[in-house]
């Protein structure tokens, strides 16, 4: 973007990276705080940004699905709340909490509602959003933030030494690092070094465990709808048609689908999108 003469301040104000939030409460608070430090320093010293807003990291925190467990899935509600709180205390500007039944199936409307309500409780009832960086000055948080900042900066320098992110991705280094991290976490869970409630400690019999609602019938109906619609599209020969005619045809479809279009050569082709 800089090569296209886009101002670095405009770039900094417009970017909003996504940051994963997991189980370790203080680690993810410190990770976000360290990322904010590195972002501000890099934008100012390396890229020459002058607008304070461009030096402010607008991170969007996402409580990843790996937080959830298949065993005792209702406990995932607590996990999502704790991880979401860590994101807010770390300074994320947006938040998305995983649904408690994600390890079972496509989240149900009930699970989606609980995830949204968790975010709303954190936003409107907890009071944590009333203060910016409320853990500033904490000995442990400041020490951990500085430690992670050094480690993150060292990894950034290593990636740049490889020729950048794309080069590190293409030579397999990124995949190996992710693989090593995941295997290390799983090893600690397997040997009991890392406790996961309901998985390696505090288990209950399978027959007593909560079973979320599954969307098997809904998924089956959605699949039937897709193939019925594809058959209708082929039969009526609208694979190459104008947007006006296709919009007219959309109103004639007997099943709940949406049709969007993207340019391919000189023709518009229908893309099926399921309505939830």
pLDDT digits (tens, 9 = 90+) for 131-177: 889 999 999 999 999 999 999 999 999 999 999 999 999 999 999 99
| CA distances from residue 5 to 9, 11, 55, 143, 153 in whole angstroms, order as listed | 11, 11, 19, 39, 27
In the chain, the number of structural domains is 2
Tell me, yes or no, whether 156 and 40 share the same domain.
Answer: yes
Q: Which of 190, 207, 225 is the last residue of a domain?
A: 190
Q: Are 27 and 131 in the same domain? A: yes
pLDDT for the residue numbered 163: 93
Q: Which domain holds residue 256?
A: 216-274
- Tell me, yes or no, whether 129 and 178 share the same domain: yes
pLDDT digits (tens, 9 = 90+) for 105-128: 888 889 999 999 999 999 999 999
Q: Which of 20, 19, 24 lies closest to 79, judged by CA?
A: 24
Matching residue, tokens 């280094």: 173
b or e along 145-177 (b: 16 or more beta carbons within 10 Å of the residue's beta carbon)?
beebbeeeeeeeeebeeeeeeeebeeeeebeee
**203 within some domain:** no
**Do 162 and 252 sit in the same domain of this protein?**
no
Cβ 198 vs Cβ 206: under 8 Å: no
211: in domain: no
Residues 66 and 175 placed together within one structural domain of the fold? yes
Mean pLDDT within 193-197? 94
Residues 237, 113, single domain; the answer is no
Q: Which one of 173, 190, 207 terminates a domain? A: 190
pTM of the model: 0.75
Give yes or no: residues 113 and 173 share one domain.
Answer: yes
Q: Which of 190, 224, 255 is the last residue of a domain?
A: 190
Q: How confident is the model at residue 184 (pLDDT cuts 50, 70, 90)?
A: very high
In a domain, 199, yes or no: no
């Amino acid at each position: 973007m800089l090569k296209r003469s886009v101002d670095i301040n405009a770039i900094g104000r417009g970017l909003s990276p996504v940051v994963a939030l997991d189980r370790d409460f203080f680690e993810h608070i410190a990770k976000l705080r360290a990322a904010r430090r590195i972002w501000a320093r890099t934008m100012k010293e390396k890229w020459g940004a002058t607008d304070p807003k461009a030096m402010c990291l607008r991170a969007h925190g996402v409580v990843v699905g790996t937080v959830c467990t298949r065993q005792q899935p209702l406990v995932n509600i607590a996990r999502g709340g704790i991880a979401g709180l860590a994101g807010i205390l770390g300074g994320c500007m947006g938040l998305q909490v995983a649904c408690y039944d994600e390890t079972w199936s496509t989240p149900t409307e009930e699970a989606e509602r609980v995830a949204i309500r968790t975010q709303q409780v954190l936003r409107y009832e907890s009071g944590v959003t009333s203060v910016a960086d409320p853990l500033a000055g904490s000995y442990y948080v400041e020490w951990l933030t500085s430690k992670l900042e050094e480690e993150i900066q060292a990894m950034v320098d290593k990636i740049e030494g490889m020729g950048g992110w794309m080069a590190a991705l293409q030579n397999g280094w990124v995949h190996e690092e992710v693989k090593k991290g995941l295997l290390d976490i799983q090893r600690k869970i397997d040997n009991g070094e890392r406790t996961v409630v309901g998985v390696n400690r505090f288990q209950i019999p399978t027959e007593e465990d909560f079973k979320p609602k599954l969307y098997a019938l809904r998924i089956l109906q959605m699949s039937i709808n897709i193939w019925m619609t594809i058959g209708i599209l082929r039969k009526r020969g609208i694979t190459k048609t104008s947007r006006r005619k296709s919009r007219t045809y959309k109103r004639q479809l007997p099943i709940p689908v949406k049709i969007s279009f993207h340019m391919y050569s000189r023709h518009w082709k229908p893309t099926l999108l399921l309505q939830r």
